[in-house]
Structure 1
Amino acid sequence: MSNPIDPTVDPYGYLGMARNPDGSVTRIVEIFPTTPACSNPSDSNPVLTKDIPVNESNKTWVRIFLPRKAFDSDPAVKLPVIFYYHGGGLILLSADSTMFHEFCSKVAIEIPAVIVSTEYRLAPEHLLPAAYDDCMEALQWIKPTSDEWLTKYADFSKCYLMGSSAGGTIAYHIGLRAVRDDLNPVKIIGLILHQPFFGGVKRTQSELRLVNDKVLPPCVTDIMWELALPTGVDRDHEYCNPMVGIKSDVLEQIKDLGWKILITGFDGDPLIDRQIELAKVLKEKGLRVIDEFSEGGFHGYGIRDFSEANKLFGVLKNFITS
């Protein structure tokens, strides 16, 4: 779906919002379609899905994606688990947004894997770290769950944290938290940061080069971070800029556990330099990092059109099955 509004001219309109005189925002229209879950085995979909509440007071939940082939076959052969976090700049979209529903369905089939996609609270109604807290709570919720799809088909010894765009940022922060928690039986063995959404006060060269980008120009990411970050902080806060407050002891724990980290990006994305910088720093810390940075593309490349995502699915499969 294309948005006719030029983001460099009307960034709030491009995001489906209006800025109010008091600094708050009004969501004008929901411009992204959603898809309901379907757990009926008689349905023709190649992936079964269902939604399960996590915290009803916060209206958070998870959507589980189970490949039909797994459902119809011997459950003794369990599948790796991918905890997925959707994008949207921390202010938009949902786990049931059609683009992410279809993307998770495709990943579930291609790997194959059980996908657990988390619905988290959005800013500006809920400032950071609300989204990070919600996704950590959902990860801990898995521990005592008795849901049959998870107990019967999920191999909790092979778990990955994955996110696209802002979801990649969430996966990174949840990884930093999770390494210090007892999540048994969940055993995380890798992070997948798909075009992660990071920021900072000083513009990078790619942000300057793509200042008039028609998909995600810096003026739009500035607004997203302004709406998402805690009151009174700037984009050099650790929630936004991974180069700030690097926790060497936590990274050392990740290194000792042998986690693999995949970071993907495209040079048509204004955020590419920040993604490259993170990969470089993590490698210097001795972590097992695989980076897949390609020419062309744009932010969100492959999410909306699977004809553009075949390489990504291949990279994901190799990363998880190797």
Structure 2
Amino acid sequence: MDSTNQEIAFEILPIIRAYKDGRVERLIGSEIVPPSLEDPETGVSSKDIIISQNSGVSVRLYLPKLTNSSSDQDKLPVLVYFHGGGFCIESAFSLIHQKHLNRLVEKAKVVAVSVGYRKAPEYPLPIAYYDCWDALQWVISHSNGRSGFDEPWLIKYADFNRLFLGGDSAGANIVHNIAMRAGENGLNNHSSKILGAYLVHPYFWGSNRIGSEDSDPYQQDILDRIWVNVSPYSIDDPKINPMGPNAPSLSQLGCSRVLVSVAGNDPLKDRGRLYYDELKKSGWEGEVEFLEVEGEGHAFHFVKCDSENAEIVFIRLASFLNHP
């Protein structure tokens, strides 16, 4: 291979390496797995659907195992889920997210739609935001019925009066940005509204360090460099720093309930707590909850999904998604 093809445009070890000829090596991440009918551990079924022929964006739908007594009137909450991975790794179709959502869907008894948005650096932000917005529009279009394009699981089982957004890490960042857009512009003339949104270990950042953010220079450097290489925006743009001086008021957040969850050993925890505090003070008229799990690191509930502390997160999320 010509040596010029080996020139590195950037690398963030141990996560990703991008070459000047456009090639990208994702150095970590779990394997891609197919959907399944009735997962043997949880009974949850899943399937994949291409929702846009133009962009190629797909979603993985999840449906809990229904009892024999279930009827057409037993509608379920709807969760539109955005996966994490720094906007550049992981997938809606990866093993860890399949296991995560199988477990959450089984526990919460929701219909979930996990969005396979396009990733940086091939597709830098704001493309992921656009893809996730389009996926949300696709989901809520089923509340009105759209002949010829209807997805049976959404038509039959989804209660669009209980519509939620959820995400982890970069996915939680997407949740915030989608909810802000919904609050500012509505949901494209649909009658549906977002009832709630949960943000687990949200990837918010900024140039001025707060709390314990200076305690780990290695992690600080990674968090800085991820944003620089996945987006054209500054590190203090409202998309990554929604509490910054130029950010719009959080009072515009377009949902009625929010849950923010952080981990005690995560360098992002203080920024997540600040988001919770600022949302409470903003004049936003909804209800906001906060959960901190001590002694754990970023995204621990994926790595240690069977631990007692992971169970705390799953129970809290299930409760949030089923709050009357």
Offset at 1:302? 0.7
When the two structures are aligned, how many residues end up with a matched partner? 300
Offset at 1:12? 2.6
The aligned amino acid for 2:154 is L
Which segment drifts farther, 290-299 or 159-168?
290-299
User: Residue 310 of structure 1 aligns with which residue?
Assistant: 311
Q: Does 1:320 align with 2:308?
A: no
User: Residue 202 of structure 1 aligns with which residue?
Assistant: 208
- Corresponding residue to 2:30 among 29, 32, 36: 32
CA contact (8 A) 1:82 1:114 kept: yes
Offset at 1:301? 1.4
Where does 1:1-322 land on structure 2 (aligned, <5 Å)?
A: 12-15=12-15, 17-20=16-19, 22=20, 26-27=24-25, 29=27, 31-39=29-37, 46-69=43-66, 73-142=70-139, 143=141, 144=146, 145-179=149-183, 180-182=185-187, 184-212=190-218, 217-230=219-232, 233-244=233-244, 245-248=246-249, 251-252=251-252, 254=254, 259-287=256-284, 288-308=287-307, 309-322=310-323
CA contact (8 A) 2:175 2:197 kept: yes
The aligned amino acid for 1:182 is L
Work out the percentage of aligned pairs sharing the same amino acid: 30
CA contact (8 A) 1:70 1:153 kept: no
Q: Relative to 1, partners in 2 of residues 1:279 and 1:30: Cα closer, same or farther, differing over 3 Å?
A: closer
CA contact (8 A) 1:53 1:61 kept: yes
- What secondary structure does 1:306 align onto? coil
The aligned amino acid for 2:251 is L
Q: 1:268 & 1:296 partners in 2: Cα distance?
A: 6
- What secondary structure does 1:316 align onto? helix
CA contact (8 A) 1:198 1:241 kept: yes
In structure 1, stretches of 5+ residues that fail to align are: 1-9
- What secondary structure does 1:73 align onto? coil
Q: 1:173 & 1:11 partners in 2: Cα distance?
A: 26
The aligned amino acid for 1:14 is P
Q: 2:74 & 2:26 partners in 1: Cα distance?
A: 47
Q: Relative to 1, partners in 2 of residues 1:276 and 1:139: Cα closer, same or farther, differing over 3 Å?
A: same
CA deviation digits over 1:244-286, x for unaligned, max 9? Answer: 33323x72464xx6x1110000120001111011111100013
Q: Relative to 1, partners in 2 of residues 1:44 and 1:206: Cα closer, same or farther, differing over 3 Å?
A: closer
The aligned amino acid for 2:315 is G
Q: Relative to 1, partners in 2 of residues 1:237 and 1:149: Cα closer, same or farther, differing over 3 Å?
A: same
Q: TM-score, normalised by structure 1?
A: 0.86
Q: 1:43 & 1:296 partners in 2: Cα distance?
A: 31
CA contact (8 A) 1:85 1:163 kept: yes
Offset at 1:65? 0.4
Question: Cα RMSD between the aligned structures?
Answer: 2.4
CA deviation digits over 1:219-238, x for unaligned, max 9? Answer: 221221111111xx421112
Q: 1:163 & 1:42 partners in 2: Cα distance?
A: 22
CA contact (8 A) 1:156 1:185 kept: no
The aligned amino acid for 2:172 is G
- What secondary structure does 1:46 align onto? coil
Q: TM-score, normalised by structure 2?
A: 0.85
CA contact (8 A) 1:161 1:188 kept: yes
- What secondary structure does 1:286 align onto? coil
CA contact (8 A) 2:264 2:294 kept: yes
Q: Relative to 1, partners in 2 of residues 1:94 and 1:210: Cα closer, same or farther, differing over 3 Å?
A: same
